[in-house]
């Protein structure tokens, strides 16, 4: 009789839990579908990528940027008023493999027409992997940025975000670098590994402004371990504003060839061919918008100056390097790799790098930065080194394997 009563109570509890989950799923379904309809604009054409992505070719005037309250009546700027002076397009070519050989996987199955932009379609599963619909496509805290000048290592280590960066402080109107592209191994899906440029303004508190661009592997965000080109922005230290790629209103894309969030191919190999991408972000001195260029001349679009407070004027810090999430779920440091997964002292063909590192000064000229400093929370896990030579100008090697004999 006791066994029967226990079984009955167990079944009742199980049914109650199941009913609650079904109720939540039903509620969630409406919110998810509503969010999908906001993100996925009606395409003029759709392209199936070999990696399973759907790339929608959406009319340029219908992109999500114009859902932002301050951009309702915004007139699209189809080209920057000025490029930074001092761009040497010869030095933008890769010394070992020409960067023109790097493509996005979806290119093999089609292209978007002029007047449209390619947008990676968001799927229901993408949103459901996030901690909440509100948090989908967003970083979760200011500790996503390395804080080399005001750092509390205990708080940083608790947050799980770790970095290996080079940085400069001053007054800047842009930044540029060429970085090689890897496919770092991720220990578990709630972790990520990225390599990027940060342009920062404001304090590392509630008012941080940040523009970011690079490549990343993020299973939670994309549902796979592919290496993808990405951007990010925030005007309030990742609290309410900003997002990855085009997953919220803000960044205005004008280019019909490059899809933010799409997979990059091919990838560098250890002791093998090295493939890299060039990224330039600069402030248009006439309009005030922050423009981004990918590779040898792909001007992708811009972040309107109205999105920001501090970055309305200039950036006060530039960072180049890598970031990972160390969840330490098993009580040990993660084995998630940064960059190539190898330490900087291994050098070319083995370690990950930024080369031809430059900043844009007040005269709208590209300059080699002075007084480059470095920062990493745990150099035995991920490290960074800087150098300079005639071929690469200022360069940075960075990265590491995560957990090892000296990193527990």
Question: Which structure tokens are listed for 105?
Answer: 């996987």
Select which of 212, 286, 346, 377 is catalytic.
212
CB atoms within 10 A of CB 300: 24
Kindly provide the residue ranges of all beta strands, DSSP E only, lying in 173-263, ordered along the sequence.
174-180, 193-201, 209-217, 228-234, 243-244, 252-253
Question: Which structure tokens are listed for 182?
Answer: 């890897």
Check if the beta carbon of residue 181 is closer than 8 Å to that of residue 276.
yes
Please provide residue 349's backbone torsions phi and psi, each rounded to the nearest 5 degrees: 85, -10
390/408 Cα distance (integer angstroms): 38
215/266 Cα distance (integer angstroms): 13
Which residue, among 59, 203, 50, 31, has the nearest Cα to 117 in the 3D structure?
A: 59
Question: Which structure tokens are listed for 175?
Answer: 């930044």
102/295 Cα distance (integer angstroms): 9
Q: How many helical (H) and strand (E) elements, i.e. helices and strands, does the chain have?
A: 4, 21
Bridge partners, residue 386, by sequence: 396
Please provide residue 382's backbone torsions phi and psi, each rounded to the nearest 5 degrees: -145, 135
Q: Is 85 tagged catalytic?
A: no
Locate all alpha helices (DSSP H) within 223-371, ordered by sequence: none
Check if the beta carbon of residue 70 is closer than 8 Å to that of residue 227.
no
| SS3 per-residue string spanning 354-379 | EEEEEEECCCCEEECCCCCEEEECCC
Q: Is 377 tagged catalytic?
A: no
266 preceded by a cis bond (ω within 30 of 0): yes
Select which of 191, 323, 345, 377 is catalytic.
323
Bridge partners, residue 293, by sequence: 280, 299
Check if the beta carbon of residue 64 is closer than 8 Å to that of residue 248.
yes
357/352 Cα distance (integer angstroms): 14
Which residue, among 247, 243, 219, has the nearest Cα to 36 in the 3D structure?
A: 247
**405 three-state secondary structure:** coil
Question: Which structure tokens are listed for 123?
Answer: 């799927």
- Annotated catalytic residues are 212, 323
């Amino acid at each position: 009789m006791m066994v029967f009563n226990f079984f009955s109570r167990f079944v009742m509890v199980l049914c109650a839990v199941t009913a609650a989950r079904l109720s939540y799923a039903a509620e969630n379904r409406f919110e998810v579908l509503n969010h999908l309809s906001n993100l996925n604009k009606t395409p003029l054409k759709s392209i199936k990528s070999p990696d399973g992505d759907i790339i929608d070719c959406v009319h340029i005037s219908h992109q999500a940027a114009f859902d932002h309250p301050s951009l309702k009546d915004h007139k699209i700027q189809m080209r920057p008023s000025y490029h930074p002076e001092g761009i040497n397009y010869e030095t933008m070519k890769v010394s070992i493999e020409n960067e023109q050989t790097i493509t996005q996987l979806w290119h093999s199955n089609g292209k978007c027409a002029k007047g449209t932009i390619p947008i990676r379609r968001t799927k229901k599963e993408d949103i459901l992997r996030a901690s909440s619909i509100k948090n989908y496509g967003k970083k979760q805290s200011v500790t996503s940025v390395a804080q080399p000048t005001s750092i509390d290592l205990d708080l940083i280590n608790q947050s799980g975000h770790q970095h290996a960066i080079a940085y400069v402080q001053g007054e800047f109107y842009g930044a540029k670098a060429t970085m090689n592209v890897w496919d770092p191994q991720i220990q578990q899906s709630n972790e990520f590994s990225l390599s990027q440029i940060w342009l920062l303004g404001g304090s590392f508190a509630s008012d941080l402004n940040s523009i970011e661009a690079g490549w990343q592997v993020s299973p939670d965000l994309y549902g796979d371990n592919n290496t993808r080109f990405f951007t990010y922005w925030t005007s309030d230290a990742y609290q309410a504003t900003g997002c990855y790629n085009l997953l919220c209103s803000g960044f205005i894309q004008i280019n019909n060839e490059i899809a933010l969030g799409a997979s990059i191919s091919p990838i560098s190999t250890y002791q093998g061919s090295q493939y890299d991408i060039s990224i330039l972000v600069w402030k248009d001195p006439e309009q005030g918008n922050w423009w981004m260029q990918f590779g040898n001349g792909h001007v992708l679009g811009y972040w309107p100056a109205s999105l920001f407070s501090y970055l309305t004027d200039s950036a006060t810090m530039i960072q180049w390097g890598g970031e990972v999430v160390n969840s330490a779920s098993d009580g040990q440091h993660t084995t998630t790799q940064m960059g190539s997964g190898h330490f900087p002292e291994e050098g070319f063909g083995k370690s990950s790098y930024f080369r031809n590192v430059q900043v844009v000064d007040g005269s709208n000229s590209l300059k080699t930065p002075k007084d480059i400093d470095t920062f990493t929370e745990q150099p035995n896990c991920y490290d960074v080194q800087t150098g300079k030579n005639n071929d690469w100008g200022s360069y940075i090697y960075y990265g590491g394997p995560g957990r090892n004999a000296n990193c527990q």
